Chain A
Amino acid sequence: MKTLNCPLNGPRNITEFAYGGEVEKMPAPDAGAHDWAAYVFIEKNTRGVVREWWMHLPTSYWFIADRNTESNEVIATYPADEIFIEKTGFTGDG
């Protein structure tokens, strides 16, 4: 069975994880419907090394993995705060 190295829980069977999509830059809250639709629905679907979201299901822990989508080799896994250093602020009257 293939394993993923969870930054919180160590190596676990890949069946314990959920795939969460490629890491993409979120549009600004007021970017408009077209940009938001593209962000939500359109996929890079990269063939090669990709930075993507994964979640360890039993602990609900989200993290980042760099994976090669041709060979299925996982190159690195690390906590999301290594790349998300700025806090996303949603301001406005909501």
Chain B
Amino acid sequence: MPFGLLKYGLNRRYPKDPLYGKPKSLKPSYDVVIIGAGGHGLAAAYYLAKDYGITDIAVLDKGYLAGGNTARNTAIIRSNYLTPEGVQFYDESVRLYQGLSKDLDFNILYSERGHLTLAHTDAAIRTARWRAEVNKHLGVNSELILPDRIAELCPELSLAEDVRYPILGALYHAPGAIARHDAVAWTYARAAAALGVEIHTETEVTGIQIENGRAVGVETKAGTISCGRVLQAVAGMSSVVAKMAGLELPIRSIPLQACVTEPVKPFLDPIIVSGSLHVYVSQSDRGELVMGGSVDPYPLYSTRSTLEFKEELMMHMLELFPFIGNLRVLRQWAGIADMTPDFSPVMGATPVKNYYIDSGWGTWGFKATPVCGKRMAESVATGIVPDVLLPFALERFFRFEQVGERGAASVGH
């Protein structure tokens, strides 16, 4: 390996990218152009090709493959949300995830750990019970448990009562999982490319061409291309790209930060989340503790890291796991989250004909990657937005029918 590095580091001819090859240059026209080669865009390309036989597709990204929030998330997958619309949608995604490694013959290191949402107040217990009932009603494995059972599932967690926020109970979701987030994008990229989809990285979209209210082309740094339909899946850049199509969204772009510690021996099996303290932690297969909190207090298009984030996070984390005080933080980073006021996505058709949108994924969109890909592909291919996506339409804000998703990450109860 070090020899290979040396050889190709000094050579102009790199080995062919084994994942998805590199198309030579943009064609003048495609059936479908997908803006954003994150997990969502790549999954949509794959399902368009596989389920609908549409293979004349270009996926364009301004950076490298899946270097946006797909590369930056903390990889938690679950379906124990609060609204029936949300639970059904995320449940479909979890099921697709469970079979993904096998279906696409690529190991995404899907690891079912169990997911505990800690409750420290009576109000949080009430919400946990509410969520458990909605979940069970829709066939999702979810229950309220008390400290004795928490101690069995996670003996390392401090259940001390003489702390500022003692743990009163938890919402337990056994199917909660983590996966290798990059591998999810890679597997979709590889499978889509094998069916003929072109993936063009370092090809920023700079404009959308609209004629008589319908999208007809996309302007890029590498030239203009015409196309039949456009799907935008650009997460934190949703408002910026939508504006090129003359659309305004109910979205604020706000940084979300995370960090990992140095690796230690495995000790933490479940994923631990606290909605009241706004912190969550899981241990990766490499042994690192992966930790995060709530979004930054104000919007920003910059992925800088802050000290305040770490201080706030560690203050609570040390109360939950006092012994991690000796661990060193190895890396800290941020992604730009596309936050909606009701913590639900904005998906489906738009007032611009042939222009589809997959946005508003905020802090919760990694777990939705497969279902978004599949259902956005269905919308783009058939022109009919499926029922599961209808509650998330942009028009909901004008009908005052928001989907108040208080089961979303980093939302207080």
Binding site for B on A (CB under 8 A): 1-2, 14-15, 18-19, 33-34, 37-38, 41-45, 47, 69-72
Please give, as numbers and ranges, the residues of chain B lying within 8 Å of A42 by CB-CB distance. Answer: 248-250, 397
Q: Smallest CB-CB separation from B237: which chain A residue?
A: A47
Q: A43-B252, A44-B248, A47-B253 are in contact. List 19 more A-B contacts (CB 8 A).
A: A2-B306, A14-B297, A19-B297, A33-B398, A34-B398, A37-B400, A41-B341, A42-B248, A43-B248, A45-B239, A45-B240, A45-B251, A45-B253, A45-B299, A69-B300, A69-B301, A70-B302, A72-B300, A72-B302
Contact residue among B239, B297, B302 (Cβ-Cβ distance under 8 Å from A43): B239
Please give, as numbers and ranges, the residues of chain A lying within 8 Å of B240 by CB-CB distance. Answer: 45, 47
| A-B pairs under 8 A by CB, number | 54
Q: Smallest CB-CB separation from B298: which chain A residue?
A: A19
Q: Does B304 contact A (CB under 8 A)?
A: yes
In the complex, A33→B398 CA distance in Å? 8
Binding site for A on B (CB under 8 A): 239-240, 248-253, 297-302, 304, 306-308, 341, 397-398, 400
- Quote the shortest CB–CB distance from A72 to chain B (angstroms): 6
- Quote the shortest CB–CB distance from B233 to chain A (angstroms): 17
Q: Do A37 and B299 touch (CB < 8 A)?
A: no
Contact residue among B239, B252, B297, B307 (Cβ-Cβ distance under 8 Å from A18): B297
Q: Do A43 and B251 touch (CB < 8 A)?
A: yes
Contact residue among B297, B308, B397 (Cβ-Cβ distance under 8 Å from A41): B397
In the complex, A26→B348 CA distance in Å? 29
6 closest A-B pairs (Cβ-Cβ)? Answer: A45-B239, A19-B298, A41-B397, A41-B250, A47-B301, A37-B398
Please give, as numbers and ranges, the residues of chain B lying within 8 Å of A37 by CB-CB distance. Answer: 397-398, 400
